[in-house]
Structure 1
Amino acid sequence: MDRSAAGSKGGRTTFERHGSKHMAEIGAKGFATTVARHWNGDRQGYRDYLGLRRHEQQIESFVEREQARRLAAGEKIVCHELPVLSDPDELPF
């Protein structure tokens, strides 16, 4: 079992034992701690950062699926050139 699978299993076990309210409390404490330690109390700045990361992960997921599809179709080399976006609302052109 890799670390990701072990973490998922632990999270499910904690949820089953303590319920959703407990998990929400853990999440809120983690968010508050991260904001205090790394964002100088800027809650909105951290939310904006998380939104940007979510957007980047969606792009990454698309690229991985598309490359896997093309490789499965027989292409020997696949490549995707992506624009660098500093904000999900910015246009690359």
Structure 2
Amino acid sequence: MFSGRHTVCHDADKGYVFVDRDGKHFRHILNWLRDGVVPTLTDSDYSELIREAEYYQLLGLIEGISSVPNKRKEEDLCAELTRTDIIKCI
């Protein structure tokens, strides 16, 4: 975005850059850039965040979001059975 290949709207006096995107998920993008942790969101919010990550070309965030459902399945498979689960199976 700032490489010079793209035209960006900015205020030269204040140094502000105008990004014409919905700010709903921008905090998640900033937090991911800071600490690399993919946030825990609903599936619909993940699809919106993927669109934003694609806009900003954040391939690592896209990969991280794409692996979240797989992590949930792996966690479910590794979960210990409770007494109630065993009784239901019997």
Tell which has more relative contact order, 1 or 2 (C-alpha 8 A, sep 6+).
Answer: 2
Same fold by TM-score greater than 0.5: no
TM-score range for the pair, normalised by the shorter chain length: under 0.3
Structure with more strand by fraction: 2
| Normalised TM-score (structure 2) | 0.28
Decide which structure has the larger Cα Rg and report it: 2
Structure with more helix by fraction: 1
